[in-house]
């Protein structure tokens, strides 16, 4: 029934009723935190007796541990996975022999930290559904992580009830394509009320949907600011991955990743190690970052193209961050909310000129100085990778930045404080390479570009016909 126009543009009550009126859908609800708001919506809609086998909560940690086993963190993906597995096992064990033919079992579970009287908590939650999309099918699963932005517990409870219904309804009626699936999750919910920063799917219902493309869709639809992939392509929760790490970020198009990109990552890490002490020298997470910002503004985001770049960076052994941030200061604010250690950016000479160009900040209330303050706080450094002036046949370092004279003293001050530092140990044989040049050579079918990228990248670009490579049919 995916894609049926009659099942779109429904309010929460209508969605719950559509599920309740399907005689084949039958399951249970297990909710921890913020009440039993999802189950309540199905009861309110009417006809729930034909849909709900059980609804429960386990607020007491001891009770929760007895049911699901001990847990290091109660609001975590691991916990919601355990809940889904246990409740699904019980449901099938108790009812598979007595339910009529055609039954498609499901289990909804959530574990949530909502606004409380004590305050101060990070208001977030994990929600998931394990379900049979067809009779006798192996179970499929979808899990999402949300951050709730409402200011009251009541509003957050209301939001949870809505998104939980959306999630269950989507599993049976909105799996037509990834755009539709993601869009359906926030129907009847204002985009300013939440973030969805992780989505993970598995099982036969999603055989034609890639979890990574769903995650890119979250950024594309502005449901979150960034998504992080590990070196194997697995989607990670950025806060968990970055929290106790010193983070080195290198922004670029990586279309494709070139030898100069690798040299920037290598020399940037070496510079970072010089700044850190003791065991912290080994505690560095190196992250290439790609921004969707300009393409988002033009409505030209090609998710498959971004995924191809993720694959190429992963093949080089790196995690990768896909974001919607325009400026480095916005990216640094995001990173600073996720980690408590040092942050460093390795960037090209011309990027430094952009950062200190006042015209970049005409639309920002705090202007250039405000942006520089957000970028270069107490724990952030800029490492400048040189460029080449072909006309003068010289390398360009931070001292050569073509910025307004009024910026010279500010840059000098930041250099004296160690916030800006030049990279000197760069590879002189590759630092002249531009991704744009390589891409144009690929598009024009010119020879020689293969020598400008790692062999792994060259092989993948040709094997997968990426970036306009002409492939033999």
205 burial (CB, 10 Å; 0-12 / 13-18 / 19+) is: buried
For residue 51, pLDDT beyond 80? yes
Any idea which of 27-41, 101-115, 439-453 has the lowest mean pLDDT?
27-41
Q: Which two tokens stand for residue 280?
A: 């912290």
More confident site: 60 or 269? 269
More confident site: 435 or 64? 435
Percent of the chain's residues with pLDDT above 90? 77
For residue 472, pLDDT beyond 70? no
Contact in structure between 141 and 164 (CB atoms under 8 Å): no
Mean pLDDT (the chain, rounded)? 92
Instruction: Return the residue matching tokens 């992780």.
Output: 198
More confident site: 391 or 172? 172
Query: Residue 278 region, left (φ>0) first, then alpha (ψ -120 to 50), else beta?
Result: left
Residue-wise pLDDT for 239-277, tens only, equals 999 999 999 999 999 999 999 999 999 999 999 999 999
CATH of domain 5-224: 3.90.950.20
pLDDT score for 409 = 94
For residue 4, pLDDT beyond 70? no
pLDDT score for 118 = 66
Residue-wise pLDDT for 126-149, tens only, equals 999 999 999 999 999 999 999 999
DSSP letter string over 408-456? HHHHHHHHHTTSEEE--S--TTTTT--HHHHHHHHHTT-TTGGGGS-HH
3-class secondary-structure state, position 176: coil
For residue 389, pLDDT beyond 90? no
Contact in structure between 140 and 133 (CB atoms under 8 Å): yes
**Taking residues 305-316, what's their average pLDDT?**
94
Contact in structure between 62 and 24 (CB atoms under 8 Å): no
pLDDT band of residue 470 (cuts 50, 70, 90) is confident
pLDDT score for 65 = 77
3-class secondary-structure state, position 466: helix
Q: What whole-number distance in Å separates Cα of residue 248 and Cα of residue 274?
A: 13
Residue-wise pLDDT for 404-454, tens only, equals 999 999 999 999 999 999 999 999 999 999 899 999 999 999 999 999 999
Per domain, the residue ranges of the chain are 5-224, 238-468
More confident site: 416 or 377? 416
3-class secondary-structure state, position 190: coil
pLDDT score for 64 = 78
pLDDT score for 119 = 62
CATH of domain 238-468: 3.40.50.620
Percent of the chain's residues with pLDDT above 70? 97
**Taking residues 274-296, what's their average pLDDT?**
94
pLDDT band of residue 58 (cuts 50, 70, 90) is confident
Helices 61-68 and 77-95, packing angle to 10 deg: 60
Give the Cβ contact number of residue 453 at 10 Å. 24
For residue 350, pLDDT beyond 70? yes
Q: What whole-number distance in Å separates Cα of residue 96 and Cα of residue 104?
A: 10
Q: Which two tokens stand for residue 187?
A: 């129907």
Q: Which two tokens stand for residue 410?
A: 């500010």
**Taking residues 153-172, what's their average pLDDT?**
95
């Amino acid at each position: 029934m995916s894609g049926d126009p009659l099942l779109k543009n429904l309010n929460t009550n209508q969605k719950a009723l559509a599920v309740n009126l399907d005689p084949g859908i039958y399951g249970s609800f297990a909710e921890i935190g913020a009440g039993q708001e999802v189950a309540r919506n199905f009861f309110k809609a009417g006809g729930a007796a034909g849909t709900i086998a059980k609804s429960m909560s386990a607020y007491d940690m001891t009770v929760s541990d007895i049911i699901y086993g001990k847990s290091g963190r109660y609001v975590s993906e691991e916990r919601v996975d355990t809940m889904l597995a246990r409740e699904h096992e019980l449901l099938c064990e108790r009812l598979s022999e007595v339910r009529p033919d055609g039954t498609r079992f499901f289990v909804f579970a959530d574990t949530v930290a909502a606004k409380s009287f004590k305050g101060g908590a990070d208001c977030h939650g994990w929600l998931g559904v394990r379900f049979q999309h067809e009779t006798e099918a192996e179970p499929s699963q979808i899990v999402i992580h949300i951050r709730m932005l409402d200011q009251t517990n009541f509003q957050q409870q209301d939001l949870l009830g809505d998104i939980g219904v959306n999630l269950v309804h989507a599993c049976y009626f909105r799996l037509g394509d990834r755009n539709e699936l993601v869009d359906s999750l926030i129907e009847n919910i204002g985009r300013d009320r939440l973030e969805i920063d992780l989505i993970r799917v598995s099982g036969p219902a999603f055989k034609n949907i890639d979890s990574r493309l769903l995650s890119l869709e979250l950024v594309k639809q502005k449901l979150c600011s960034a998504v992080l992939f590990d070196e194997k392509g697995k989607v990670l929760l950025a806060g968990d991955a970055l929290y106790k790490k010193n983070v080195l970020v290198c922004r670029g198009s990586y279309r494709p990743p070139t030898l100069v990109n690798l040299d920037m990552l290598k020399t940037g890490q070496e510079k970072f190690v010089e700044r850190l002490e003791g065991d912290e020298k080994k505690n560095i997470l190196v992250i290439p970052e790609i921004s969707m910002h300009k393409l988002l503004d033009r409505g030209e985001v090609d998710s498959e193209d971004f995924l191809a770049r993720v694959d190429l960076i992963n093949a080089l052994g790196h995690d990768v961050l896909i974001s919607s941030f325009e400026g480095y200061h916005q990216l640094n604010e995001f990173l600073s909310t996720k980690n408590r250690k040092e942050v460093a950016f390795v960037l090209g000479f011309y990027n430094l000129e952009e950062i200190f160009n006042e015209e970049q900040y005409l639309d920002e209330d705090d202007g250039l100085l405000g942006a520089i303050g957000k970028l270069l706080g107490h724990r952030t450094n800029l490492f400048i990778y040189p460029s080449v002036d072909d006309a003068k046949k010289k390398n360009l370092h931070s001292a050569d930045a073509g910025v307004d004279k009024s910026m010279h003293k500010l840059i000098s001050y930041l250099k004296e404080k160690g916030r800006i530092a030049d990279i000197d140990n760069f590879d002189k044989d590759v630092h002249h390479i531009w991704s744009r040049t390589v891409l144009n050579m690929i598009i024009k079918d010119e020879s020689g570009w293969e020598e400008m990228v790692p062999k792994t990248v060259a092989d993948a670009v040709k094997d997968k016909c990426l970036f306009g490579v002409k492939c033999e049919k």
